[in-house]
Each structure stands twice: as structure tokens, then as C-alpha cells.
Structure 1
Amino acid sequence: MPLLPSDTLRAAGLVSVLGATILDGWVGFALFFLVLGALFIPRALGTSAWLDVTYCATLLIAGWAALLDWYLAVPGLDLVVHGAATGLIGAVTWQVLVRAGALTHHDDVRLERPRLGTFVVTAGAAVTLAVVWEFLEWIGHTWVDERIQVGYDDTVGDLAAGAVGAVVAALLVSRTSAAEPRP
């Protein structure tokens, strides 16, 4: 398999696991181990180069921003990153679902509005994953490390930004994906 430009970001993810572990112990390790795993999803799917690079770069920035408290230092960065990351995760999730055959069609059924279905699935999956992330942040704060920043305003703001990112991604995916997904 040939090397892709985005593979340098995956290599940075691997180095980040080591750096985060040294900097923040097992919490840093856990965070970047999750990021590293996520970085390989677009590679496995063979996504377009622009989505692969943007997705990987955004997840790396999100991880380091959390670990180095950039969200506290740069007002609004949290919302921008939540919007971008949620949208990109939604686009990649759409591709995972198509590739896994979860969105198959039957030859005897013609979808009337396939782009609407693409929009709903992409946005719904992205928002659902944003909610799961917020649950995990709360669990991490409550039972793992109190330095993980949570709070009502933070959570609602993150979910709102994520929902905007999900809708933007869903619009783009529904406009650019094939009318009827095939696994």
C-alpha cells in the first residue's frame, strides 16, 4: 500500500501517544490512543485525500488542545473544534456505514429521496456521537480526572457547535455522495 500525505499525520498521532503519555501519564495515553485509532479509519476506508487530511489534522488538534488547555487559553476554540470535528466524524461515519453495508438498498425498491436519507443519517450519526463524547467527558471528569473540563455551559455549547458541524457535513455529504449507497 503506497504512503499517503495523511500518513504523516498518522505518524504524528503515534508520536503524540508517546508525548502525551510522558506529559500527562495514562490519561494522556488514553486520549491519544483513541485519537490514533480514529486516525486509521479514513485510511482503511480509502476516503478522499482532502477528507483524510482534514479529519486527521482536526482530531490531532482537538487532542492536543484538550491536553494542553488551549481551550482555556483561546476563547471560542472549543466551539470551532467541536463543530469541525463533529462534522468530519459525521462524514467519515457515513462512509463507514456505507462500507459496512448498513445502508444497503434492495433492487426492487427505488428510494424517492436518497439525499434526504443521506442527510438524516449523517447528521443523526454525528450528533449521536457528539452526545456520546460529552457523556465520556463527564465520566472522565467524574471518575478519572477532575482536570477534564465539563459543565452545563460547556456541554450545551459543545453540543450546539457539534450540531452545526453535523448539519454542514450532512449537507455536503448528501450533495456529493452517490444517490444510492452501495457497499
Structure 2
Amino acid sequence: MIETFLRRPRGAAELTADAVRLVGVLCIAVALIGWPLLDVAVFALALLGLVVPRFLGIRPGLDIALGITVLVAAWSALLDLYNAIPYWDFVVHFALNGLVAAALYILAVRLEVIPDPTTTRVSLGAIVALTTSFGLAAGVIWEIAEWLGHTYIDETIFVGYNDTIGDLVAGGLGSILAGLAGRRLAAESRYVAAHTDPA
């Protein structure tokens, strides 16, 4: 995966995906100027979400979508859009959790933890169940992180029963949608092998 991360971008789409990562770095610099350290940490965490797809070598379309959604989620937190815009929290969790579930599914196929449905007969139900499980697990970890942040770092981090359940429902629905595209996601995992420079 290191070779994948260090590989030069090919084409406009891969350059765009890397440009989104650069925007993430610039967002940290902007946050350092105008926001508290906790908000800077939000962008540092977002940067992780921007870098992982590069390691996975997923197709640039999914890479760009995930990167932009991560940045939207981070800025929405800093600008308090989750409270200002009704249902915005639901929309962001639906999109981001679904894209994260897709990336986790691709990772699991590439690591051969689960069968590759492009080479092995796997039912769509199994693909949806696995992808949804990945997405829900990621959602639970996020909600635990929010609770830890609220409890031990900053009480202004909003947590609550309805918020937590709503976030998990939105993320679960997004993950189901990602699962329905499971065969296409598996094909994504083969992208790097065909686009890596020969040694």
C-alpha cells in the first residue's frame, strides 16, 4: 500500500483527488489561525479520512467523493451547520458513512478478508450485509469518539440519545446503499493493480 500511496497521479481525476487532499491540509492551516485547538483536531482527523483512500488506491471518483464529503463534514462542525440547518446532520451521516462503508468494503476485498464478488459467487444480500456491517461499525466507533470527547475533552461536543440513534440510522441507510453497489465496489479494488507503475 505504500507503493500505492507514493505512486504519481495519472490523469485529471487523480490529480483532482490529490488536490482535495491538499485542500484538507490548507484547512488545517486556516483552522490554526481562526479556531480553537479542538477544531484544528477535527481537521487533523479529517485529513486521515483524506489520506486513507490514497493508500487504498480506489478509483478517483470515489476518492474525490469521500474527500469532499469529509471536508464538508468537518466544516459543518466548525460552522455549526448541524444545528443551523434542519436534517443536515442526517444528510452528512448518510453520505459520509456510506462512502466510508464503501472504502472499508474495498479494503476487506483487497486484503482478502472477504471474497471478491468479481471472481467468486457472492449473493447481493451478503454484499449488502457486509457493507452495512462495516458502515454501522464505523458509525458506532464515531459515536463512541463523540461521547469520549464530550465526557473527557469538551462538554460542548453535542451528544444525546436521539442524536446518536439518528446518526446511526442515517449512516446505516447510507451503508445499505453502498452495499447495493457492492459488485462495482469490488471492481474498484482492482483499479490499482492495473494502474501501478511496474517495478
Same fold (TM over 0.5): yes
Give the corresponding residue for 2:86. Answer: 75
Q: Does 1:166 align with 2:175?
A: yes
Deviations 1:148-180 (A, max 9, x none): 1111111111111111111111111245535xx
TM-score when normalising by structure 1: 0.87
User: 1:127 and 1:174 mapped to 2: Cα distance?
Assistant: 20
* 1:10–1:111 distance in 2 versus 1, CA, 3 Å: closer
User: Which residue of the other structure, out of 116, 137, 140, is the alignment partner of 2:149?
Assistant: 140
- How far apart are residue 104 of structure 1 and its match? 5.0
CA distance in 1, matches of 2:126, 2:34: 44
Q: How many pairs are equivalent? A: 176
Identity %: 38
* Selected match of 2:29 from 1, 7, 18: 18
Shift of 1:143: 1.0
Task: Return 5+ residue gaps in structure 1 as ranges.
Answer: none
SS of residue paired to 2:15: coil
- Out of 19, 38, 44, the position equivalent to 1:8 is 19
Between stretches 94-103 and 160-169, larger displacement belongs to 94-103
Give the Cα–Cα distance (whole angstroms) in 2 for the partners of residues 11 and 154 of structure 1: 32
Counterpart among 22, 29, 42 of residue 31 in structure 1: 42
* Structure 1 vs Structure 2 CA RMSD: 2.1
Separation in structure 1 between the aligned mates of residue 115 and residue 171 of structure 2, nearest angstrom: 27
Q: TM-score by structure 2 length?
A: 0.80
1:114, distance to aligned residue in structure 2 (A): 4.4
